[in-house]
A and B are shown apart, each in its own frame.
Chain A
């Protein structure tokens, strides 16, 4: 049995009348990459801040690598590296000086962090830029420095709050390769929040978050399996007419435009009545190129759940 490194029970935090984190129960195992998906304001950031000790909970319980975050706060915090969405760095200090600052804040004596600092800069690919002022780094390099700073004290758990928001897929891919190496080589556990479904589909498990609650949790494969045989692609023309006819069909729960195609969500178990849809479309004088089941995506799952 793998060790549980993040565990929460009914973790809650309110700001005034807003329940920012509402009875969240998490069990994350050592070596997992767990993704939190949800809109701005869903409570993802508050949840991470509770876990890293920057905020105090109102109710509930949380342990980090076995340490209670209320009663053993210092021990718990030592286990965590936190990369905030807008992480702070001193732009007028060099890369190396920034790293030194974060190491010393963490209470590491220089004999401990200097070697680690070199290792971690090499790891993120910034060793050549150790002497460059942080303000002169590109966006992607700043992100790497943020990651290096969060890792300098060898945490067992990495909390990454939307590290790749506003970042293109190529840069995102590079960042992910780094995260994976951290997990594989240092056995770090990762909790990452993201608005990107392509990124969510990389995580080993996901929690979908809304209004402070995790309303669905599971492996991407299992989440997608919930909609197996329920998503169909319809291609033909004219698209508007196809859309109108499909939306009226009894078996169709939802119709979405997808560029020059339509995606239909079919009510469970009713796919066999779709044959009639084709003939309805044709008798209306429109053309069907194809109507076929496709693999559900995480996005389909999220939308289907939110609509219910």
Chain B
């Protein structure tokens, strides 16, 4: 018995480029996404994430390069692509003076779906049945995000684009939303998600990091952490803590330092050893209490890759 399925490419971008005048928003980006993946897309504001999604949706024409989505050439045939993808934007549009059910029925109508059963099935699937007669204006952010997701899957798209879908909710609600994404993926849906949350990035099967229009890295969360092999992450307990941090920040051999509650998390090049680091710390009036090596987090990867602007 084999659990492997043949790889099916859902998105294929080659040398994708978008220029606005002199400004290159997306610079020769190539990647492909397989069926059933959840691709996380990270990057500073203005790094080209949304521009990339818009090109994939056929809403913007690339200046160069090519895109195939669901086997369709997007530049030549944007219409059929849009009918087969779901898109939830960070500022999703719901009608606040209509109920949950009415909003969903409205979006169903946009896609030409008049089948009541499909609407009820989606309400059930996304866990909205209990609030279906509530006005959107009376719902919390978490419920609205669920409804926005429901509207984006009403036409059963095999590919979902989620642009910062979970702002303003707590980790429990964020997790519950992700369980819905996984539920879709188990049914064979592929998802591309942009986010600023590092915990969310950990939920993705692969993560791409964009900076100034370039795709700097694209790998599994574990793979990205392994890519930090040329650096060492240190947990440093020192007193006084904050003055130590502000001094280390200026030191040329310290790549990054941040506060981690009661200690400091520091990134250095691989060739830095514990003794030299201790020496750097104690050069000021700081006292080292404990220094140990630590595992890199995705935030470390992101700050190291995208932070060197």
Determine the chain A residues whose CB is within 8 A of the CB of B306 once the complex forms.
168-170
* Assembled-state Cα–Cα distance A42/B171 (Å): 13
Q: Total A-B pairs in contact (CB under 8 Å)?
A: 141
Is B170 within 8 A of A259, CB to CB? Answer: no
- B245: chain A residues at CB < 8 Å are 180, 184
Q: Is the CB of B3 within 8 A of A165?
A: no
Are the C-beta atoms of A170 and B303 separated by less than 8 Å? yes
Contact B249 A306 (CB under 8 A): no
* Known A220-B261, A238-B3, A257-B178; contact A39-B204, beta-carbon cutoff 8 A: no
CB contact list, B170-203 vs A, under 8 A: 170-173, 175, 178-179, 182, 186, 196-199, 202-203
CA distance A98 to B70 in the complex (A): 51
**Residues in B whose Cβ lies below 8 Å from that of A66:** none
Q: B140 at interface (Cβ–Cβ under 8 A)? A: yes
| Interchain CB contact under 8 A, B198 and A169 | yes
Q: Mark A182-204, 1 if CB is under 8 A from B, else 0.
A: 01110000000001111001111
Among B42, B45, B240, which residue has the most Cβ atoms of chain A within 10 A?
B45
Size class of the contact patch on chain A? 35 or more
Beta-carbon contacts under 8 Å, A224-269 to B: 237-238, 240-241, 256-260
Shortest distance from the beta carbon of B52 to any chain A beta carbon, whole Å: 15
A216 within 8 Å of B by Cβ?
A: no
Give, as a whole number of angstroms, the nearest-CB distance from B243 to chain A: 5
Q: State A299–B175 Cα separation when bound (angstroms).
A: 9
Asked if A181 is at the interface (CB within 8 A of a chain B CB), the reply is yes
In the complex, chain A residues 60-111 whose Cβ is within 8 Å of any chain B Cβ: none
Q: Which residues of B240-263 are within 8 A (CB) of A?
A: 240, 242-243, 245-246, 249, 256, 258-262
For A173, give its contact among B172, B202, B307 (CB under 8 Å). B307
Q: Which of B205, B240, B299, B309 contacts A198 (CB 8 A)?
A: B299
Min Cβ gap B267→A in Å is: 11
Q: Contacts A39-B170, A201-B260, A302-B172 known; A184 to B242 CB distance under 8 Å? A: yes
Q: Is the CB of A204 within 8 A of B261?
A: yes
Smallest CB separation, B195 vs chain A (Å) = 10
A195-B169, A220-B261 as given contacts; A39 in contact with B198, CB under 8 Å: no
Contacts of A183 in B (CB 8 A): 242
Interface residue? B43 (CB, 8 A)? yes
Q: Give the docked Cα–Cα distance between A168 and B211 (Å).
A: 11
The interface residues of chain B lying within 8 Å CB-to-CB of A256 are 175, 179
Check A169–B196 contact: CB distance below 8 A: yes
A171-B44, A240-B186, A297-B199 given as contacts; is B261 within 8 A of A201 (CB)?
yes
In the complex, B284 has a CB within 8 A of chain A: no
User: Which residue of chain A has the shortest Cβ distance to B295 in the bound complex?
Assistant: A295
Q: Are B171 and A259 in contact (CB under 8 A)?
A: no
Contact between chains at A219 and B261 (CB < 8 Å): yes
Residues from chain A with Cβ under 8 Å of B296 in the complex: none
Measured in the bound complex, the distance between the Cα atoms of B71 and A74 in whole Å is 67
Q: Which of B1, B178, B198, B220 contacts A285 (CB 8 A)?
A: B1
Whether A180 and B242, one on each chain, are in contact in the complex, defined by CB atoms closer than 8 angstroms, is yes
Q: Does A38 contact B (CB under 8 A)?
A: yes
A128 at the interface (CB under 8 A from B): no
Q: Which residue of the partner chain, among A33, A38, A237, contacts B170 with CB atoms under 8 Å?
A: A38
When C-beta atoms are compared, the residue in chain B nearest to A306 turns out to be B172
A185 to B240, CA, bound (A): 12
On whether A210 and B170 interact (CB within 8 A), knowing A139-B45, A173-B303, the answer reads yes
The residues in A between 25 and 58 inclusive whose CB is less than 8 angstroms from any CB of B are 33, 37-42
**Chain A positions within 8 Å of B171 at CB level:** 197, 298-299, 302-303
A280, B262: Cα distance in complex, Å: 41
Question: With A173-B303, A303-B175 as given contacts, are A168 and B43 in contact (CB-CB < 8 Å)?
Answer: yes
Task: Give every chain B residue within 8 A of A168 (Cβ-Cβ).
Answer: 42-45, 47, 196, 306
CB distance from A33 to the nearest CB of B (A): 8
Cβ-based interface call for B167 (8 A) = yes
- Interface assignment of B142: CB less than 8 Å from any CB of chain A: yes
A170→B307 contact, CB < 8 A: yes
A306 touches B38 (CB 8 A): no
Q: Given the interface contacts A169-B196, A240-B186, A302-B170, does A181 sit within 8 Å of B43 by beta carbon?
A: no
Q: Given contacts A166-B167, A201-B260, A204-B261, is CB(A257)–CB(B179) below 8 Å?
A: yes
| B170 pairs with A306, CB closer than 8 A | yes
User: In the complex, are the beta carbons of B169 and A40 less than 8 A apart?
Assistant: yes
Min distance, Cβ A243 to any Cβ of chain B, angstroms:
9
Contact B203 A257 (CB under 8 A): yes
Return the chain B residue nearest A40 by Cβ.
B168
Q: Which of B172, B173, B199, B205 contacts A260 (CB 8 A)?
A: B205
B264 to chain A, nearest CB (A): 10
In the complex, the chain A residue whose C-beta lies closest to that of B166 is: A195
In angstroms, Cα B206 to Cα A14, docked, is 45
Q: Which A residues, 279 to 306, have Cβ-Cβ distances below 8 Å to chain B?
A: 285-286, 297-299, 302-303, 306
With an 8 A cutoff between CB atoms, is B161 at the interface?
no
> In the bound complex, how far is the Cα of B44 from the Cα of A197, in angstroms?
18
Q: List 18 A-B contacts (CB under 8 A).
A: A39-B142, A39-B173, A41-B140, A139-B45, A165-B167, A165-B168, A168-B306, A169-B196, A169-B306, A171-B45, A173-B307, A180-B246, A195-B169, A196-B196, A196-B197, A203-B261, A259-B203, A303-B172
Besides the contacts A40-B169, A168-B47, what 15 more A-B pairs have beta carbons closer than 8 Å? A139-B45, A167-B45, A169-B42, A169-B299, A170-B306, A184-B242, A195-B170, A198-B199, A198-B299, A219-B261, A256-B175, A257-B178, A299-B199, A302-B171, A307-B172
